[in-house]
């Protein structure tokens, strides 16, 4: 029966594992890289971060993978790293339904008849990951009340910045406002990467994208980024956090765990660089994330029950130029006349950083 | 004993929803379907149902949440009209191709623009290719009866497709009529429990739904939907038979009225069939002319063979469409009927008229005029106006 063949594809992931090829090796490489950076530098000494449970790097990293290798994501892709890290925060004994907006992640991890997900998974469309998961979560509450489901499930849905900041913004806002017990994770790579790096409202100012190309007249994207984590915090949901990949993944892990195990709606914004859209060598991924944090381009913070908490304050705030320099999308800023544009970027980073500090001090 | 009541079409659908007690209802307000979620919200507020309402922020999210909830293993209902359904468009296809037995109470209303809140079929007819089963009603009784039959059809293992139960905005949705209701216990037994074979929250077997399917797989998915739609023909009749045993009310793909000896026939969908029936009676009584009416109930799947069989030997047929499709020729129903008759090598003359767009009234006199035209057409074999609008202001 065709119906059966369409939906019961999940067990095929075992095939996927066996045929795991190059991209597996790449991802392992990134994690090796991560641990090397960890040993080299003490990047994990974060201030003001009161974690409920002690973070055990070895234990966390040795948890079973819930996103099986063998998928088709690029080498050096931040999206996959984000998904694996978030799913690792699920307690190994807990069940979950994973959701996904259309994007690189979806088309590369669930290409019929293979799925890379160990958990139940649903992709619906581009703009409705929030609404779709709110349907799943509501069904869970009813079926559990009726005694049809015994076990506890968690609900986590992933979307890129295009599917989250832009086309899925309304659906996300609705799901958060209704307070479904779910986590929405935006893996923010700052453009529509799946369709070939078109600008989104998450694209930073002056970035060269295929719809805001830098040219003789254009300097790349005109506008500054939308601040989605702040907008989500204004929904007054119990947990909002912004994070990215730090050397030992403590920040991301702890926030993902809090988001998953906080009752109610939670939002996680994970900066997830894209080697193709940003223009960097795969091995540069962790370094770029580090520079984003150390320059305060991408501050690590959380908003817990309305309280703004800054999780990390660099001892020596690096110039944003250091972050911009690592990526081809900003290379036109490093040509004559670019100083003024870089200064504008710096001013914007400073303004936002000060605003964030004020919120966190208040 | 059936319960005698007086209900509007919206009340009747809400009453059926209470009796069926579905798990999840994501819905968004839009005239004229708004009352349905309102009534259900009242049932919820007073503990009459276990249904969880999702107060979505748009119809797109309503159908998205319906897809999520249905995939998770819940029985799902939603209600909408017109632009609301248009906003769901993309999701209609997802629900159908994911083979989710969602049931939608659709209160037919014209699509914008100009904005108009009254009955026509442009919303559901536009979605005729989305893979949903579509069942239409003439009266409040029919929409209630159709709604009770929706889940047994949708959830049948050989079907597993979403179902749209359509009724005409305001005409039946807000018009109060006498109605016979089935007892709660009988409905419960008739509709049964929803026990899907595969669902996201199955603790024993995780499931992945909504894959990226490349060219090597996509076409087979469509064939699967097509097979299900073919199976739906059989299942719709089986469910109707079971329903008849319970209530004594008989349903098929369409209803034939005074068709046995009819020479001139009008084919129509929805509430205007009632007015047409009055015209048939009046003509037969006044002049004895052999006129008949064929009212379509099931438009998807389309009952091509049965319809052709019912019409093939008639002298002339007028197919009346309540929605434009701007082919600059006929409308959706007209095209299907004409195609069915061609396949059956019928020599019946066929015209295709448009009526009632945006709630424009159609009268007994209008129908009588159509029958007169059919009579003339059968004599001359020359249609003066193959694709005409009925009741335009300039006339």
Which of A117, A127, A135 faces B69 most closely, judged by CB atoms? A135
For residues B238 and B149, give the distance between their C-alpha atoms in angstroms, rounded to a whole number: 10
pLDDT in tens, A349-359: 999 999 999 99
For residues B161 and B226, give the distance between their C-alpha atoms in angstroms, rounded to a whole number: 10
- Yes or no: say if A113 and A152 are a contact pair by the CB < 8 Å rule: no
Which tokens sit at B198?
Answer: 């595969």
Which of B66, B160, B206 faces A135 most closely, judged by CB atoms? B66
pLDDT in tens, A153-202: 999 999 999 999 999 999 999 999 999 999 999 999 999 999 999 999 99
pLDDT (0 to 100) of residue B395: 55
Q: List C-alpha distances in Å: B118 to B109, B121, B167, B171.
A: 5, 10, 12, 9
pLDDT (0 to 100) of residue A15: 35
Which tokens sit at A84?
Answer: 């694996």
pLDDT of A12 over the 70 cut? no
Indicate the DSSP class of residue B389.
B
Indicate the DSSP class of residue B195.
-
Test the A interface: residue of B206, B214, B222, B230 with most A CBs within 10 Å: B206
pLDDT of A25 over the 70 cut? no
- Yes or no: say if A124 and B91 are a contact pair by the CB < 8 Å rule: yes
pLDDT (0 to 100) of residue B41: 98
pLDDT in tens, B216-275: 999 999 999 999 999 999 999 999 999 999 999 999 999 999 999 999 999 999 999 999
For residues A53 and A31, give the distance between their C-alpha atoms in angstroms, rounded to a whole number: 23
Chain length of chain A: 362
Read off the pLDDT band of B1 (50, 70, 90): confident
What torsion do the CA atoms of A332, A334, A340, A343 make, to the nearest 10 degrees? 110
Indicate the DSSP class of residue B212.
B
pLDDT of A4 over the 80 cut? no
Smallest CA–CA distance, residue A97 to chain B, in Å, is: 7
pLDDT of A5 over the 70 cut? no
pLDDT in tens, B122-146: 999 999 999 999 999 999 999 999 9
B298: three-class secondary structure by DSSP? strand
pLDDT in tens, A295-346: 999 999 999 999 999 999 999 999 999 999 999 999 999 999 999 999 999 9
Whether A132 and B67 lie within 8 Å, measured CB to CB:
yes
Whether A140 and B209 lie within 8 Å, measured CB to CB:
no
| DSSP3 helix / strand / coil % (chain B, rounded to 5) | 45, 20, 40
Q: List C-alpha distances in Å: A341 to A218, A219, A227, A348, A355.
A: 12, 9, 20, 11, 21
Residues of A in contact with B50 (CB under 8 A): 142, 145-146
pLDDT (0 to 100) of residue A248: 95
pLDDT in tens, B286-296: 999 999 999 99
What strand order describes the sheet that includes B298-300? B77-80, B103-108, B163-168, B133-136, B298-300
Phi, psi of B270 (to 5 degrees): 95, -160
Smallest CA–CA distance, residue B214 to chain A, in Å, is: 8
pLDDT of B342 over the 60 cut? yes
* HEC-encoded secondary structure of chain A: CHHHHHHCCHHHHHHHHHCCCHHHHHHHHHHHHHHHHHHHCCCCCCCCCCCCCCCCHHHHHCCCCCECCCCCCCCCCHHHHHHHHHHHCCCCCCEEEEEECCCHHHHHHCECCCCCECCEEEECCCCCHHHHHHHHHHHHHHHHHCCCCCCCEEEEEEEEHHHHHHCCHHHHHHHHHHCCCCEEEEEECCCECCCCCECCCCCCCCCCCCCCCECCCCECCCCCCCCHHHHHHCCCCCEEEEECCCCCCHHHHHHHHHHHHCCCCEEEEEECCCHHHHHCCHHHHHHHHHHHHHCCCCCCEEEECCEEEECCCCCCCCCHHHHHCCCHHHHHHHCCCCHHHHHHHHHHHHHHHHHHHHHHHC
CB atoms within 10 A of CB A22: 9
Average pLDDT, chain B: 97
Residues of A in contact with B74 (CB under 8 A): 138-139, 142-143
Instruction: Return the closest-CA partner of residue B298 out of B113, B150, B109, B198.
Output: B150
pLDDT of A290 over the 80 cut? yes
pLDDT (0 to 100) of residue A198: 98
Whether B201 and A149 lie within 8 Å, measured CB to CB:
yes
Average pLDDT, chain A: 89
In chain B the first and final C-alpha atoms are separated, in Å, by 50
Residues of A in contact with B26 (CB under 8 A): 131, 134-135, 138
Whether B207 and A7 lie within 8 Å, measured CB to CB:
yes
Smallest CA–CA distance, residue B154 to chain A, in Å, is: 13
pLDDT of A35 over the 60 cut? no
pLDDT (0 to 100) of residue A359: 97
For residues A28 and B68, give the distance between their C-alpha atoms in angstroms, rounded to a whole number: 33
Which of A11, A115, A135 faces B72 most closely, judged by CB atoms? A135
pLDDT of A48 over the 60 cut? no
Residues 6+ apart with CB under 8 A from B225: B96, B97, B99, B131, B161
Smallest CA–CA distance, residue A23 to chain B, in Å, is: 19
Beta strand A266-271 with A239-243 is parallel
Higher-confidence position of A15 and B192: B192
pLDDT (0 to 100) of residue B394: 77
Which tokens sit at B98?
Answer: 């994911």
B369: three-class secondary structure by DSSP? helix
Q: Is the dihedral of CA B376, B377, B380, B382 positive or negative?
A: positive
| Mean pLDDT, residues B340-346 taken together | 96
Alpha carbon B27 to chain centroid, angstroms = 19
Residues of A in contact with B94 (CB under 8 A): 124-125
Residues of B in contact with A6 (CB under 8 A): 98-99, 221, 224
For residues A283 and A75, give the distance between their C-alpha atoms in angstroms, rounded to a whole number: 9
| Mean pLDDT, residues A26-44 taken together | 40
Which of B52, B203, B212 faces A150 most closely, judged by CB atoms? B203
For residues B98 and B228, give the distance between their C-alpha atoms in angstroms, rounded to a whole number: 12
Percentage of chain B modeled with pLDDT above 70: 100
Indicate the DSSP class of residue B358.
G
ipTM field? 0.97
Whether A112 and B213 lie within 8 Å, measured CB to CB:
yes
Percentage of chain B modeled with pLDDT above 90: 98
| Mean pLDDT, residues B359-387 taken together | 96
Whether B65 and A132 lie within 8 Å, measured CB to CB:
yes
For residues A233 and A240, give the distance between their C-alpha atoms in angstroms, rounded to a whole number: 6
- Rounded to the nearest 10 degrees, the angle between the axes of helix A129-145 and helix A169-178 is 30
- Yes or no: say if B294 and B270 are a contact pair by the CB < 8 Å rule: no
Instruction: List residues bridging with A302 in a β-sheet.
Output: A241, A309
Which tokens sit at A221?
Answer: 């994207």
Residues 6+ apart with CB under 8 A from A69: A16, A17, A20, A23, A24, A27, A116
pLDDT of A36 over the 80 cut? no
Q: List C-alpha distances in Å: B202 to A40, B18, B72, B377.
A: 45, 26, 8, 61
pLDDT in tens, A221-267: 999 999 999 999 999 999 999 999 999 999 999 999 999 999 999 99
**Among all residues of chain B, which has the CA nearest to that of A111?**
B212
Higher-confidence position of A82 and A34: A82
pLDDT of B314 over the 50 cut? yes
pLDDT of B347 over the 90 cut? yes
For residues A148 and A140, give the distance between their C-alpha atoms in angstroms, rounded to a whole number: 9
């Amino acid at each position: 029966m065709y119906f059966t063949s369409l939906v019961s594809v999940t067990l095929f992931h075992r095939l996927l594992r066996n045929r795991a090829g190059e991209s597996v090796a790449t991802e392992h490489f990134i994690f090796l890289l991560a641990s090397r950076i960890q040993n080299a530098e003490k990047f994990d000494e974060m201030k003001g971060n009161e974690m409920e449970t002690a973070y055990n790097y070895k234990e966390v990293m040795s948890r079973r993978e819930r996103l099986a290798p063998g998928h088709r994501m690029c080498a050096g892709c931040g999206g996959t790293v984000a998904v694996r890290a978030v799913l690792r925060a699920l307690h190994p004994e807990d069940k979950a339904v994973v959701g996904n907006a259309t994007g690189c992640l979806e088309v590369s991890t669930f290409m019929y008849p293979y799925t890379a997900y160990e958990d139940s998974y649903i992709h619906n469309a581009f703009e409705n990951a929030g609404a779709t998961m709110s349907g799943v979560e509501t069904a869970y509450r009813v079926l559990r009340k009726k005694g049809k489901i015994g076990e506890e499930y968690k609900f986590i849905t992933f979307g890129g910045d295009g599917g989250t900041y832009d086309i899925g913004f309304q659906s996300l806002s609705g799901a958060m406002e209704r307070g479904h017990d779910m986590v929405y994770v935006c893996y923010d790579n700052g453009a529509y990467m799946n369709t070939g790096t078109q600008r989104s409202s998450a694209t930073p100012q002056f970035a060269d994208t295929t719809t805001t190309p830098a040219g003789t007249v254009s300097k790349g994207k005109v506008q500054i980024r939308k601040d989605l984590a702040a907008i989500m915090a204004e929904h007054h949901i119990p947990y909002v956090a912004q994070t990215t990949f730090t050397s030992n993944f403590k920040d991301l892990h702890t926030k993902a765990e809090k988001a998953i195990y906080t009752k109610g709606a939670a939002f996680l914004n994970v900066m997830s660089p894209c080697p193709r859209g940003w223009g960097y060598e795969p091995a540069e991924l962790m370094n770029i994330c580090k520079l984003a944090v150390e320059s305060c381009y991408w501050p690590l913070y959380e908003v817990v029950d309305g309280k703004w908490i800054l999780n990390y304050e660099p001892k020596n705030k690096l110039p944003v130029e250091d972050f911009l320099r690592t990526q081809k999308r900003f290379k036109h800023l490093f040509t004559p006349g670019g100083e003024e544009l870089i200064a504008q970027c710096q001013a914007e980073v400073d303004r936002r950083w000060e605003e964030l500090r004020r919120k966190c001090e208040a | 004993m059936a319960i005698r009541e007086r209900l509007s079409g919206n009340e009747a659908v809400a009453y059926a929803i209470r009796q069926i007690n579905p798990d999840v209802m994501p819905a968004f307000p839009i005239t004229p379907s708004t009352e349905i979620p309102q009534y259900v919200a009242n049932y919820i507020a007073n503990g009459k149902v276990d249904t969880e309402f999702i107060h979505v922020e748009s119809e797109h999210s309503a159908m998205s949440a319906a897809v999520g909830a249905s995939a998770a293993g819940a029985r799902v209902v939603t209600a909408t009209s017109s632009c609301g359904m248009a906003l769901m468009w993309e999701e209609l296809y997802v629900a159908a191709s994911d083979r989710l037995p969602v049931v939608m109470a659709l209160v037919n209303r014209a699509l914008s623009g100009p904005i108009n809140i009254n009955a026509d079929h442009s919303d559901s007819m536009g979605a005729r290719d989305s893979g949903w089963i579509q069942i239409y009603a003439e009266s409040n009784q029919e929409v209630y009866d159709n709604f009770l039959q929706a889940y047994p059809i949708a959830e049948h293992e050989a079907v597993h497709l979403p179902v749209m139960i359509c009724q005409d905005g305001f005409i039946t949705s807000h018009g109060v009529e006498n109605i016979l209701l089935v007892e709660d216990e009988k409905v419960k037994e008739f509709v049964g429990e929803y026990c899907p074979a595969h669902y996201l929250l199955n603790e024993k077997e995780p499931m992945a739904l909504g894959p990226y399917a490349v060219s090597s797989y996509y076409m087979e998915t469509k064939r699967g939907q097509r097979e299900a739609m073919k199976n739906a023909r059989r299942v719709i009749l089986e469910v109707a038979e079971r329903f008849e045993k319970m209530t004594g009310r008989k349903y098929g793909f369409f209803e034939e009225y005074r068709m046995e000896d009819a020479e001139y026939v009008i084919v129509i969908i929805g509430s205007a069939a009632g007015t047409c029936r009055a015209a048939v009676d009046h003509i037969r009584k006044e002049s004895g002319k052999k006129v008949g009416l064929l009212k379509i109930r099931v438009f998807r799947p389309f009952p091509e063979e049965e319809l052709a069989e019912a019409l093939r030997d008639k002298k002339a047929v007028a197919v009346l469409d309540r929605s434009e499709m701007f082919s600059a020729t006929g409308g959706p129903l007209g095209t299907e009927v004409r195609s069915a008759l061609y396949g059956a090598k019928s020599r019946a003359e066929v015209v295709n008229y448009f009526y009632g767009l945006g709630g424009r009234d159609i009268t007994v006199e209008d129908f009588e005029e159509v029958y007169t035209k059919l009579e003339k057409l059968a004599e001359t074999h020359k249609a003066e106006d193959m694709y005409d609008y009925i009741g335009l202001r300039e006339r």
